[in-house]
Amino acid sequence: MSRPQLKDAWQAMRILKTFSLQQVRNAIEHTTLDSLKAFAKRLVAAKAIAEHVDYEHITYTVINAEYKPFKQVNNSDAKQKNSGRQRMWQSMRILNEFDAGQVASTADISVASARSYISILKKVGYIFVVKSAPRTGSVIERAGEATIYRMLKNTGPKRPIPKATGVFDPNTNELVEFNAVQRKTVKIAPVTLGEAHDFNN
DNA sequence: GTCGCTGATGCTATAGCACC
DNA sequence: GGTGCTATAGCATCAGCGAC
């Protein structure tokens, strides 16, 4: 497995916190379980993750998220290829269900920027709102209650690029145009996390 | 080398909305 | 009307690229 693939795998692990290798493989798509096993073994030896064996199920937990499995190559390539939005996109694909704060923290950008990109993706139907943040109750009651979004179109590892009339998806090489903007709040029946939701109608 | 143009990115300010 | 949250337009900054 190449270094970028390992980096993607390590990022996926840090986001998931507790994971199986199958989950990581599904998240980053471009690797094999054998490669991940070898990588995980290395991380366990370095005490970056802990292994839990539960009968035939093996899961891992990140115990040192700060660990850097890769030697810092000189930063001549200073400008990171993985921009904030690229990291956001990757986080959204891995988490599947997320809120703006989660994505912002995992991608290391501001919440406002995360919301900005999320709203664009929402307009083209790549994600949709699973649960709106409550607007009633005390501050304490609302603490931790944020708008939850769900990934609807996971087209591939490359982030969709916002354009004037929509977003260009490098994974499908297609320009997806914005849906008609509707500021009115759409009342969606409460959906429990993990439940499918048809948003096309 | 540098100048100008263009596009990508991220942030801020503000409008819109729901609720009290 | 006041408050709090979300969505979005607009702006600043930076990098890439071509022309000269």
Q: At A29, list the tokens.
A: 């798509």
Domain membership flag for residue A162: yes
Say if A73 falls within a structural domain.
Answer: no
Nucleotide B10's nearest residue (CA vs C1') is A113
| Contact by Cβ (8 Å): A3, A10 | no
Residue A111 lies in a domain: yes
How far: A75 CA to B6 C1' (Å)? 26
How many Å separate Cα A166 from the centre of its chain?
21
At residue A78, the pLDDT reads 30
Tell whether A54 and A126 lie within a shared domain: no
Closest-CA residue to A177 (of A110, A135, A126, A113):
A126
Q: Which of A19-28, A107-116, A151-160 has the lowest mean pLDDT?
A: A107-116
| pLDDT the model gives residue A187 | 34
Q: Is the pLDDT of residue A60 over 80?
A: yes
Residue A99 sits in the same domain as residue A57: no
Percent of chain A with pLDDT over 90: 0
Strand B bases contacted by the protein (CB, 7 Å): 8-13, 16-20
Give the model's pLDDT for residue A55.
64
Query: Could you check: is the Cβ of residue A71 within 7 Å of any atom of nucleic acid strand C?
Result: no
Q: Is residue A189 part of a domain?
A: no
The boundaries of the domain holding residue A50 are 3-62
The tens digit of pLDDT for each residue in A130-140 reads: 665 544 444 44
Domain of A139, CATH number, reads 1.10.10.10
A47 and A98, same domain (yes or no) = no
In a domain, residue A197? The reply is no
The answer to whether A199 touches A152, Cβ cutoff 8 Å, is yes
